[in-house]
Amino acid sequence: MKSTGYHKFILPNGLRLTVYPMPHLRSISMLVFVGAGSRYESDDEAGVSHFIEHLYFKGTKRRPTSKEISETIESIGGIINAGTDKELTSYWCKVADQHFPVAIDLISDLLHNSRLDPADIEKERQIIIEEINMSRDLPQFKVDLLVDESIWKGQAMGRDVAGSKESVSTITREQMLTYIARRYVANNAVVSITGNISVEKATESVVEAFRWWKAGDIPETTPTIHNQTAKRVVLETKTSEQSHICLGVPAVSILDPDRFPVGLLSVILGEGMSSRLFLEIREKLGLAYDIRSYTTQHLDTGSMIVYAGVDPRKTTTAIAAIVEQLALTKNGVAEQELTKAKELAKGRLLLRMEDSRNVAAWMGAQELLTNRIMTLDEVINGIDAVTTDDIKRVANQLFVTDKLNLAVVGPIKNRSTLSRLLSL
């Protein structure tokens, strides 16, 4: 993606469009991002964003069944799917370039004409409850939910995107329609298109396909509160072959200039087979098969989390070793180690951008959340500008005992022993 490679338009109804032609391809990817997600939900409608996303694939006025929807896209060899996150919901389609008219018509139909049939709602309600049950039964998923609940304690940001079995059981069709009217408005959405298509053709197609979409008043977002004053330990005792560990801290937002050093700190710690955590926890100590770190970035908050799955008998040893590695980064990193981390981060970013759907997601999500699109060159410049002093500074800001959040799922019972390990 070159600095001037993308094009952005705001249509008369407030719908934003981003286009990035990739004429060397024979496909087109299209994503529609809507500012709907779990952070915008009240307690009694928790999971409604995810519920609506499911229902949009159950039938429209023109395509009354899910079978007709899937056949529309599979009969032309395309792929369609959707996903819900904390701050956005996306609907996407990827097709051979000659079938783009079918793809855009289908996505528009889903968003405009979904029936939200009461019978479908009841059937899908049970399906989502089973999805929630599945995530609860998978310890590596459950521990991720628990650490989020701890980092954003008592806030919508800390909730499972799918909601709870209790909330999903009581969400009504009227609540869905009210939520759609509140969040699914044209000026709270972005259409992002990449692939073998001209800017003119993409623009004409979107104007025609989405002329039905009306603008609306977007409610203000409740700010995230950062008020943690003491370390937190969440333990779910469960029979399993491993203890699943997530050790996390609140971090920076998608708009914070420190997102670049924080991202590189995570790379140094646990992204890749030459990272500190991988070399120490797996290669040297032999404690884990899966050990990694990752960051999340949202509008006004973020997190950095370390995950590991270990033998239950080695749980405390593994946690102590992870804490030690966090503490060591506070002493600083060598220039050579930072340079390696920069090249890894830049290389993986560039490789992801070889896929048209990733490019469309890159543009659309940024535009929806930040109202601007950073080019690859700008991001690479941000990465290159990070110094060893920056890494030491953010490590000392993030890795503080009172900001630690430990979640463990496994056959462990002694919570106080785990708490005593958390000291930086």
Task: Show the domain range for 59.
Answer: 7-209
Q: What is the CATH number of the domain that holds 393?
A: 3.30.830.10
The string of pLDDT tens digits covering residues 367-397 is 999 999 999 999 999 999 999 999 999 999 9
CA–CA dist 392, 374 (Å, integer): 26
Structural domain includes residue 236: yes
pLDDT at 1 over 90: no
Q: What pLDDT was estimated at residue 2?
A: 44
The string of pLDDT tens digits covering residues 250-307 is 999 999 999 999 999 999 999 999 999 999 999 999 999 999 999 999 999 999 999 9
Domain identity same for 191 and 269? no
Closest CA to 391 of 332, 305, 328: 332
Domain count, the chain: 2
Domain identity same for 205 and 257? no
Strand bridging mode 405-410 / 232-237 = parallel
Domain identity same for 161 and 278? no
Structural domain includes residue 218: no
Closest CA to 209 of 281, 105, 296: 105
In which residue are the tokens 């087109």 written? Answer: 28
Beta carbons of 382 and 345 less than 8 angstroms apart:
no
Indicate the pTM of the whole model.
0.95
Domain identity same for 282 and 182? no
Structural domain includes residue 324: yes
Domain identity same for 274 and 354? yes
Domain identity same for 202 and 246? no
**How many percent of the chain have pLDDT more than 70?**
99
